[in-house]
Amino acid sequence: MSSTSKHPDVLKKLREEHNQVLGSDPAAAAEKLTKNPHLVNNLHYTLAVIKEVLRFFPPAGTTRAGKPGVSVTDDQSNSCPTDDAMLWILHVEMHHNAKSWVRSEELLPKRWLVGHEHELYPVPGAWRPFELGPRSCIGQAMVIVDLKLIMGCLARRLDVRPAYEGEEDEKRMYRGERAFQVEVGAAHPVEGYPCQITVV
Ligand code: HEM
């Protein structure tokens, strides 16, 4: 396991789940999944990791057209007319808002595995990487399955570490991340996330 992983405990648990559900030989995982596709439904921790990473780094965004007579109200009850404005929904900010997320700056897959009585249980509607409502992402169910398959096949076989040039410099970081997100149409890791991948 990579000693440079930012969340070695999460990576360890993820790999343990893959060993349990997909068998101890990572090279055989793809064939096992092909023969038993329902196994993706047993990857509960993997799903929690995917959801928490999509909370931390929501890669997409969306806009809505404003209309005369339609206003939006903020959490201090200020009403803002939208008229001809273009409303850009800032998913990164919503997903890091401490009003909606307990321990918002911690990557905690556990919040997706606890019951509603737990303090980490997500506020309904606060997680919206695919947005909500009638225009929400039509690919979301498929992409979650894809991510589970890809992680199940690769998370035990590859170590990925950032390879940004130069010393770690706080001035080039945001919220403690060197690979912070920048908007390039949708959000991407800054400088395209130069990284080194090692086959384990
Ligand atoms: C992690 C991957 C993805 C993320 C985070 C994502 C996120 C989003 C978001 C935020 C929207 C805007 C929804 C809105 O405005 O209410 C959207 C729309 C859409 N997405 Fe995705 N998406 C992903 C992958 C995919 C994939 C794989 C497909 C197709 C196979 C897809 C197809 C679409 C389509 C067609 C729309 C437009 C829906 C509409 O306007 O009615 N997306 N997606």
What are the tens digits of pLDDT across the range 145-189? 999 999 999 999 999 999 999 887 888 999 889 999 998 878 899
Residue 174 per-residue DSSP state:
B
The residue written with tokens 């737990």 in the block is: 118
pLDDT of residue 3: 42
Query: So what's the pLDDT on residue 167?
Result: 81
Q: Give the span between the Cα atoms of 151 and 145, in whole angstroms.
A: 10
Quote the CA–CA distance of 2 and 155 in Å, as a whole number.
11
> Which two tokens mark 63?
């806009």
Closest Cα to atom 39 of ligand 1? 135
Q: What is the mean pLDDT of the chain?
A: 93
Atom of ligand 1 nearest to the CA of 129: 5
d(CA 2, CA 114): 28
Q: Output the residue whose Cα is nearest ligand 1's atom 28.
A: 139
What share of the chain has pLDDT > 90, as a percent? 83
Q: Is the pLDDT assigned to residue 49 strictly greater than 60?
A: yes
Task: Give me the count of residues in the chain.
Answer: 200
Please state the rounded mean pLDDT for residues 32-47. Answer: 97
Are 178 and 162 a contacting pair, CB within 8 Å? yes
Residue-level pLDDT at 169: 83
CB within 6 Å of ligand 1 — which residues? 59-60, 62, 129-131, 135-139, 142-143
Is 153 annotated in some ligand binding site? no
* CA nearest ligand 1 atom 41, residue: 135
Question: Which of 50, 57, 137, 147 for a ligand 1 pocket mutation test, highest count of atoms within 8 Å of Cβ?
Answer: 137
Of 133, 125, 46, 134, which is closest to residue 91 (Cα–Cα)?
125
Residue with the smallest CA separation from ligand 1 atom 7 is: 130
Give 64's strand partners: 87
Give me the half-sphere count of Cα atoms (radius 13 Å) on the Cβ side of residue 20.
11
- pLDDT at 5 (0 to 100): 76
Residue corresponding to tokens 């991407």: 188
